[in-house]
Amino acid sequence: MAKFLLSSPFFFLFLFSCVALPLLTWPAYAGVTKHYTFEIKLQNVTRLCHTKSMVTVNGRFPGPRIMAREGDRLLIKVINHVHNNISIHWHGIRQLQSGWADGPAYITQCPIQNGQSYVYNFTIVGQRGTLFWHAHISWLRATVYGPLIILPKPNDSYPFVKPHKEIPIIFGEWFNVDPEAIISQALQTGGGPNVSDAYTLNGLPGPLYNCSSKDTFRLKVKSGKTYLLRLINAALNDELFFSIANHSVTVVETDAIYVKPFETDTLLIAPGQTTNVLLKTKLNFPAADFLMTARPYATGQGTFDNSTVAGILEYQSPSLHSTVPVKNLPLFKPNLPPLNDTSFATNFTKRLKSLASAQYPANVPLNVDKHFFFTVGLGTSPCDQNQTCQGPNGTKFAASVNNVSFVQPTTALLQAHFFGQSNGVYSPSFPFSPAHWFNFTGNSPNNTMVGNGTKVVVLHFNTSVELVMQDTSILGVESHPLHLHGFNFFVVGQGFGNYDPKNDPENFNLVDPIERNTVGVPPGGWVAIRFLADNPGVWFMHCHLEVHTSWGLKMAWLVLDGNLPNQKLPPPPADLPKC
- State phi, psi for 142 to the nearest 5 degrees: -60, -30
Neighbours of 73 (CB within 10 A): 15
Verify that 419 and 526 share a domain, yes or no: yes
362 domain-assigned? no
Q: Which of 105, 127, 152 is the last residue of a domain?
A: 152
Element (H, E) at 417: helix 413-418
Verify that 146 and 244 share a domain, yes or no: no
291-324 b/e (C-beta count within 10 Å ≥ 16 → b): bbbbbbbbbbebebbeebbbbbbebeeeeeeeee
Q: Which of 107, 129, 152 is the last residue of a domain?
A: 152
Verify that 377 and 494 share a domain, yes or no: yes
Residue 103 CA to residue 538 CA, distance in Å, equals 11
Contact 535, 559 (CB under 8 A): yes
203 domain-assigned? yes
44 domain-assigned? yes
Q: Is 505 helix (H, G, I), strand (E, B) or coil?
A: helix
364 domain-assigned? no
Query: Do the bridges between strand 489-496 and strand 525-533 make them parallel or antiparallel, or are there none, so unpaired?
Result: antiparallel
pLDDT of residue 539: 98
Contact 566, 97 (CB under 8 A): yes
Verify that 516 and 538 share a domain, yes or no: yes
DSSP string across 167-234 = EEEEEEEE-SS-HHHHHHHHHHH-SPPPPPSEEEETTB--TTSTT-TTS--EEEE-TT-EEEEEEEE-
As for how many domains the chain has, the answer is: 3
CATH number (domain holding residue 374): 2.60.40.420
pLDDT of residue 317: 87
Beta bridge partners of 458: 558
222 domain-assigned? yes
360 domain-assigned? no
Residue 42 CA to residue 180 CA, distance in Å, equals 14
pLDDT of residue 323: 47
Verify that 419 and 340 share a domain, yes or no: no
567 domain-assigned? no
| Residue type at 430 in one-letter notation | F
4 domain-assigned? no
**Contacts of the segment 496-499: beta carbons below 8 A, 24+ positions apart:** 496/441, 496/522, 496/524, 496/525, 496/526, 497/441, 497/524, 497/525, 497/526, 498/439, 498/440, 498/441, 498/470, 498/526, 499/373, 499/468, 499/470, 499/526, 499/528
Structural domain boundaries enclosing 252: 160-318+328-354
pLDDT of residue 324: 52
Query: Do the bridges between strand 370-381 and strand 463-471 make them parallel or antiparallel, or are there none, so unpaired?
Result: parallel
Verify that 350 and 230 share a domain, yes or no: yes
Binned average pLDDT, 10 residues per bin, the chain of 579 residues: 44 41 67 98 98 98 98 98 98 98 98 98 98 98 98 96 98 98 96 97 98 98 98 98 98 98 98 98 97 96 94 88 66 97 98 97 98 98 93 96 98 98 97 96 94 98 98 96 98 98 98 98 98 98 97 98 96 96
Verify that 139 and 254 share a domain, yes or no: no
Verify that 144 and 270 share a domain, yes or no: no
Nearest to 221 by CA among 316, 299, 149, 141: 316
Verify that 56 and 123 share a domain, yes or no: yes
Verify that 133 and 168 share a domain, yes or no: no
CA torsion sign, 357 to 362 to 363 to 364?
negative
Nearest to 237 by CA among 271, 191, 199, 203: 271
pLDDT of residue 319: 73
Verify that 443 and 533 share a domain, yes or no: yes
Verify that 198 and 232 share a domain, yes or no: yes
